[in-house]
Structure 1
């Protein structure tokens, strides 16, 4: 009986996946998959890769949010509120400028390295300032991200790559086709690794002193966590672009309902993130059909609203 809610949630996500596979500008129904070669070709070249990209990108950002929140001991952090995504954007821009013909794997490695550097800078700054409120942490991250973003915009404007940068930041999935989404399979390995190392991240989230007293190699866990976040952010950035707030709002809502056990929460976090990502994509495709609003625009509106509510709720508790 305990597994029944999770089974129902999985069925709901599968229903959303089926809807994503059948919705689009090119009409494809189930009978056409067996009778129309063009429809079948379009289905496997465009619809299936796009839906898989939605699933993997959502899982990537959700896992990144969980790891960052445990390591920093703050519920308001994820790659878009710590500047990690902005560092990945800077890496992609510089690679485009100096090595435009670089293969996808090289782009993924460079974006991950820059994301890793950004996470280290963020953690280094946190260690040197006095934190009197949890709200200060995301503010510091947003400030660092804004600074890096300003440098990125200046370089893009100076080199006439502003349009490319804007297209990347839109985070749309309309250009995802077979042959350019496959790096996102790496995210599946990261999710599996996090599941098996969940207990260690839970202990690390209690703080350095507690983790060390329990015999946990704290620095090694921190390095592994930052590496996971950097890989997930870098791969997602290369394939689909900028995905805001997803790793922030979903882990918090799941923790609010189920507590802070990372291992038991992880399936719910992944399923909820996938459901939210696909729902935002479907809204973007249906509202102005046959045109399309990028899924991240819809997600940004939802995520920003929830983020502000969380900040106000935390501020209200501080005054109680």
Structure 2
């Protein structure tokens, strides 16, 4: 996008589509009846999640206890993790101006897993808070490394940027595997990256509530992220400190990714699927899109979790397996769509 200062004699031509885009974004209301219907639909899925499982919480003698210890925490974790990872994808896509970027395709998740592994190796009896801190710090470092690589790449096509992130993630994943092999923790590493809500119980998931505050923080500074998504030159011209906004976005994404990785594990492609679907329908205004992104993220994670619980009942498959298949299909569809538009 060309900034108004650099437009020169072509200034009217450049400003015309920008104004049109802003009108499209501002035409959507933050709260409307469609959003209410979405809340009701997602609420129905969450109620279904509460009563889906092998154990009969309604007929068993200790059903109420199991309901409070397992079903409620699991459903709350679905809400928080789904909303957080979808939101992370939306923020990262705006800040990088790339539709194919999210924590899975930038290596952020792999860095969070490496931080978790280091804490567990150095401090075997570490609390969940210590593990979270380690995951968040490494996720922040990894995301900053990704941004540093992207800034140094001269060819910044929509496909090169996620390829860089996937390559970085593969390198970090190899380091994690090596460290886990040396520390005899390879099996634990596989469990951490599985991405499953099976082990979510009362007493070990409450730390996930941190991501709710992250979502609120993103909503508060949503307009700044939206302006930063127009590019450094445009953001600077309107008086925005672009580097500070990038740093803030990186911190919020690192916190959400680190916390979700510690409690749930890897949820691949969620941040890729949801923002692209919402943006195709509603445009790129983060503030008005954020409730829809959170709702759709919760809905997709909940549906995938229900499938994982019932597809081979009474056993469960990791929800990351279902998400990976779905996300890979959407990723390929987006790539093909991008290729058709370029041709």
In which range does the TM-score fall when normalised by the shorter chain? over 0.9
In structure 1, the residue matched to 2:102 is 78
Pair 1:111-2:140 in alignment = no
Task: Assess if the C-alpha contact under 8 Å between 2:207 and 2:259 holds in 1.
Answer: yes
Pair 1:234-2:258 in alignment = yes
Pair 1:155-2:179 in alignment = yes
Pair 1:60-2:84 in alignment = yes
In structure 1, the residue matched to 2:321 is 297
User: How far has the Cα of 1:132 moved from its partner?
Assistant: 4.5
Kindly tell me: are residues 132 and 191 of structure 1, through their superposed partners in 2, closer, same or farther at Cα, counting changes over 3 Å? closer
Pair 1:92-2:89 in alignment = no
Pair 1:17-2:46 in alignment = yes
In structure 1, the residue matched to 2:166 is 142
| Cα separation, 2, equivalents of 1:87 and 1:132 | 23
Structure 1: runs of 5+ lacking an equivalent? none
Pair 1:198-2:227 in alignment = no
Kindly tell me: are residues 132 and 192 of structure 1, through their superposed partners in 2, closer, same or farther at Cα, counting changes over 3 Å? closer
| Cα separation, 2, equivalents of 1:193 and 1:169 | 27
- Residues 76-107 of structure 1: CA distance to partner in whole angstroms, max 9, x if unpaired? 10100000000111111111111011111111
Q: Identify which of 37, 47, 58 aligns with 1:8.
A: 37
In structure 1, the residue matched to 2:302 is 278
Structure 2: runs of 5+ lacking an equivalent? 1-28
Larger Rg over CA atoms: 2
| Cα separation, 2, equivalents of 1:245 and 1:194 | 20
Task: Assess if the C-alpha contact under 8 Å between 2:150 and 2:156 holds in 1.
Answer: no
In structure 1, the residue matched to 2:93 is 69
| Cα separation, 2, equivalents of 1:198 and 1:187 | 16
Correspondence 1:122-137 to 2 at 5 A: 122-137=146-161
Q: Identify which of 275, 278, 283 aligns with 1:254.
A: 278
User: How far has the Cα of 1:131 moved from its partner?
Assistant: 2.1
| Cα separation, 2, equivalents of 1:305 and 1:152 | 27
Structure 1 residue ranges, 4+ long, deviating more than 3 angstroms after superposition: none
User: How far has the Cα of 1:159 moved from its partner?
Assistant: 1.9
TM-score (norm 2): 0.90
TM-score (norm 1): 0.96
Task: Assess if the C-alpha contact under 8 Å between 2:73 and 2:202 holds in 1.
Answer: yes
In structure 2, the residue matched to 1:219 is 243
Task: Assess if the C-alpha contact under 8 Å between 2:309 and 2:315 holds in 1.
Answer: yes
